Amino acid sequence: METQAEIEFQSAVSAFSAAHNEPDWLRDLRLTMLAKYPALALPVFEKIKYQRWPLTDVHEPAVQDSSAIDLSSLDLDYAEAKNVLVTVGESVIATRLDPALAAQGVIFTDLFTAVREHPDLVQKYFMTTAIKPDANRLAAFNTAFVNGGAFLYVPKGVTVKDPIQGYYIQDSTRTQDFIQHVLVVAETNSQVTYSENYATVGEQANLANVIVEVVAADDAHVRFSAVDQLSKATTGYVSRQGNLANDAKLDWAVGMMNDGNVVVDFNTDLVGHGAHAEVKVVAVTTGEQLQGIDTRVTNLGQHTVGHILQHGVILESSALIFNGVGHIVKGARGSDAQQESRVLMLSTHARGDANPILLIDENDVTAGHAASVGRVNEEQMYYLMSRGIDKKRAERLVIRGFLGNVLTEIPTKRVRDQLTATIERKLENGQKSE
């Protein structure tokens, strides 16, 4: 028998769906996952203990206008962008798409507009390929309560030369859940560069649940970059899932610069023969935060390539955990799985882990891993300080060199520059506190 609270949530979810004119299939999917999510298991990640975090302490969904929020504290560089979407909470602040791309069938819009104007297309891919809605409790939770996000669709044979940019701002000037869902679909023989940014305005404690799906059809190439900067008061779950068909390629380049506790789930399935994924992650932790990052690439098709490169820096009393999981399944002959995870600790109070995991079920493959957790090289520090450089600046130079191995691998200069600036901010704030 349903409780009064359950009935009230069903009514609130239905009302929220109706307010956004969602099609019946999405409303019904929401309600199904609303009933199902509490009984589903949380995802399990090696050495990441997050199960007691308030990731499902949801508030009843209600339409809230955040369009008047002051964004001057954020460095949002989108004025000259040809293809951009900016949202704050549930409000769309700016949206632009090059008319020439729209004429070729490219779609880039907020999620609610997409499900109204392209319901069949969204339904075809939404939680059907990269991840299923009942994959775990947090995925089902996202499906039931999603209140923002975007849809990017690139038709067959279309090459998008200019980057597509998304800015998704959490409104923490009030109590408001930040539950985002971004769906990127690249059809056969298409190419696109997509960049997204997550940030927070306000200091109210809120949860964040972000799911990103990338579906790449045969011979498609997606260059995906992200800079995550959720606030200290935000407790978050970020899931980015990829599904690649024959000879598709997906380049992930992600900077985890959050200030609060965040658990991150990267998963890429190389389903088609010849699929190729490059996953590059940089992370900086400060204060007393924990960032747990679980990165998995599964080689399912033959002659697939999955490479993971993760570098992180830990300051103060924070903790950073890198899990790298490469799985070559039986039958994925000729495949390659490589990973490198390295953590640099700048404090005796910090905690770091780098856990390489290789699961190899096939003989005719290539696989390897490297992992390390250590402190700043004293010889490098001595050399720099002997040249008149003070300790903090010397540390920054060593860190730049350490993270530079990953940053130089990121193909988009704008993303490299943004990540570098964000890293400098976090390092400066962390060193001030020590």
Write down the pLDDT at residue 431. 59
End-to-end CA distance of the chain: 54
Residue 215: phi and psi, rounded to 5, are: -115, 115
Cβ contacts of 250 within 8 Å, gap of 6 or more:
214, 216, 221, 222, 224, 242, 244, 268, 276, 277, 278
3-state secondary structure of 346: coil
Task: Give me the helices (H) in 126-170, please.
Answer: 137-145
Q: What is the pLDDT along the chain (434 residues), one digit of tens a residue?
A: 577 778 888 999 999 999 999 999 999 999 999 999 999 999 999 999 999 999 999 998 988 999 899 888 887 878 888 999 999 999 999 999 999 999 999 999 999 999 999 999 999 999 999 999 999 999 999 999 999 999 999 999 999 999 999 999 999 999 999 999 999 999 999 999 999 999 999 999 999 999 999 999 999 999 999 999 999 999 999 999 999 999 999 999 999 999 999 999 999 999 999 999 999 999 999 999 999 999 999 999 999 999 999 999 999 999 999 999 999 999 999 999 999 999 999 888 999 999 999 999 999 999 999 999 988 777 777 677 888 888 778 878 888 888 887 788 776 777 788 888 888 888 777 655 55
Write down the pLDDT at residue 156. 98
Cβ contacts of 431 within 8 Å, gap of 6 or more:
315, 392, 395, 396
Amino acid at 322: F
Quote the CA–CA distance of 292 and 290 in Å, as a whole number.
6
Quote the CA–CA distance of 144 and 37 in Å, as a whole number.
8
Write down the pLDDT at residue 1. 53
Which of 269, 266, 276 minimizes the C-alpha distance to 306?
A: 276
Quote the CA–CA distance of 420 and 407 in Å, as a whole number.
8
Quote the CA–CA distance of 225 and 222 in Å, as a whole number.
10
Whole-model pTM over 0.85: yes
The tokens describing 301, both together, are 């098709």
Write down the pLDDT at residue 433. 58
Task: Cite the beta strand spans of 316-365 per DSSP E.
Answer: 319-328, 336-345, 351-360
Quote the CA–CA distance of 299 and 327 in Å, as a whole number.
6
